[in-house]
């Protein structure tokens, strides 16, 4: 059996679930769909409430948000299948044989397959372009990691894994906010000696996060990167080899330049952030902003407190 595992947060997932149920019924597949709602708004929970009555579906809302890693692990705990198919809630199915394609993968000896995520063409609305451009850069970066043999970077928004392997890894529950869970999971697979197999079975990413919210997510991801660096020394070599931004931040730190960058961040960070949000600067400027943000986060004695203090006010960082 394949257990389709979908964490839900502030998203109406009726269309996604209907498409999956239709494929299960049409293909006569042995599958189930498990959804946990991670503290969505009351309106979203009301829209998704009808999922409780659907065949093959288990839908349970949580009272409070527990984070992207913990909720995936909880869904896996509820699953009955020998295989776990993880999907993000903000995707649509592109292949009419999507589940059948994954079902055929379970007949072989490999343990992990991923179908990747398609982000569509460049959006016309300016408020969506920063996210799209950043996603394209990320895809190219992941391809470079694979070519260099560091590890096969999988998107946890569309991948199939043998349950026994997943239970030996799990998602890192120290990551309570957005970001880095894909990278850490990919590194863990590499440590297990497992090479994920890429197949032609993508889903389409439908989230059109407004740029300010997208920048919030990127900042959360950078804070997670610092948190992982400090908490788990075993990840450091792989993280540093994989991230040019991280390598640069670490190399500049002993030179005594971080205080200067921090002052620059306090004086100009808000302006650069705002200009990036409104697409008034090229993409490399957003990369530069992320570098400065990462360096300041590394300097913070308490990165969690830095993240909370930073939200809503770049000038809230103390020098």
pLDDT band at 177; cut points 50, 70, 90: low
pLDDT band at 94; cut points 50, 70, 90: very high
- What is the rounded CA–CA span in Å between residue 260 and residue 296? 10
Q: What's residue 141's pLDDT?
A: 73
Q: What's residue 240's pLDDT?
A: 76
**What's the gap between Cα 19 and its chain centre?**
23
Say how many residues make up the chain: 319
pLDDT band at 179; cut points 50, 70, 90: low
Q: Tens digit of pLDDT for each residue in 31-63?
A: 999 999 988 999 999 999 999 999 999 999 987
Helix (H, G, I), strand (E, B) or coil at 5: strand
* DSSP assignments along 269-287, one per residue: HHHHHHHHHTT-S-HHHHH
Q: Which two tokens stand for residue 99?
A: 């589940």
**Do residues 57 and 26 touch, judged by C-beta distance below 8 A?**
no
Q: Tell me the pTM.
A: 0.81
Beta strands in 146-242 (DSSP E): 158-162, 197-198, 203-205
Per-range mean pLDDT, top range of 127-136, 148-157, 254-263, 288-297:
288-297
Q: What's residue 253's pLDDT?
A: 67
CA distances from 228 to 180, 186, 239, 296, 300 (A): 9, 14, 9, 16, 14
For 224, phi and psi rounded to 5 degrees? -60, -35
- What is the rounded CA–CA span in Å between residue 136 and residue 152? 17
- Lowest-confidence range among 13-22, 118-127, 224-233, 264-273? 118-127
Helices (H), ranges, the chain: 14-27, 42-48, 68-78, 98-105, 126-148, 163-167, 181-191, 211-231, 236-242, 244-252, 258-277, 283-299, 303-310
Per-range mean pLDDT, top range of 146-150, 189-193, 245-249, 279-283:
189-193
- What is the rounded CA–CA span in Å between residue 231 and residue 186? 18
Q: What's residue 275's pLDDT?
A: 82
Average of per-residue pLDDT across 191-195: 88
Q: Please report where in the chains the tokens 């999988």 appear, as a residue.
A: 154
DSSP structural state of residue 319? -
Task: Indicate the burial class of 156 (C-beta count within 10 angstroms; 0-12, 13-18, 19 or more).
Answer: buried
Is pLDDT of 318 > 50? no
């Amino acid at each position: 059996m394949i257990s389709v595992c979908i964490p839900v947060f502030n998203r109406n997932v009726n269309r996604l679930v209907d498409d999956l149920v239709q494929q299960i019924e049409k293909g006569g597949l042995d599958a189930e769909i498990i959804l946990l709602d991670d503290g969505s708004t009351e309106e979203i929970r009301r829209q998704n409430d009808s999922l409780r009555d659907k065949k093959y579906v288990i839908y349970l809302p949580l009272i409070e948000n527990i984070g992207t890693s913990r909720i995936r692990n909880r869904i896996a705990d509820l699953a009955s299948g020998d295989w776990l198919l993880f999907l993000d809630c903000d995707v649509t199915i592109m292949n009419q044989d999507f589940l059948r394609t994954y079902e055929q993968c379970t007949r072989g000896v490999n343990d992990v397959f991923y179908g990747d995520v398609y982000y569509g063409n460049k959006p016309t609305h300016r408020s969506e372009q920063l996210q799209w451009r950043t996603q394209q850069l990320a895809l190219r970066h992941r391809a470079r990691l694979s070519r260099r043999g560091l590890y096969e970077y999988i998107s946890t928004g569309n991948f199939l894994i043998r349950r026994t392997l997943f239970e030996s890894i799990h998602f890192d529950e120290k990551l309570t906010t957005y970001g880095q869970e894909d990278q850490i999971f990919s590194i863990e697979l590499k440590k297990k000696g497992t090479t994920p197999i890429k197949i032609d079975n993508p889903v389409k990413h439908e989230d059109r996060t407004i740029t300010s919210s997208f920048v919030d997510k990127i900042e959360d991801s950078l804070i997670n990167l610092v948190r992982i660096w400090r908490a788990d020394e075993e990840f450091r070599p792989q993280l540093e080899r994989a991230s040019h931004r991280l390598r640069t931040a670490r190399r500049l730190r002993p030179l005594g330049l971080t205080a200067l960058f921090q002052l620059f961040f306090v004086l100009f960070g808000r302006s650069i952030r705002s200009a990036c949000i409104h697409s008034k600067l090229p993409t490399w400027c957003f990369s530069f902003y992320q570098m400065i943000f990462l360096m300041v986060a590394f300097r913070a004695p308490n990165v969690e407190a830095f993240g909370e203090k930073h939200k809503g006010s770049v000038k809230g960082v103390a020098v």
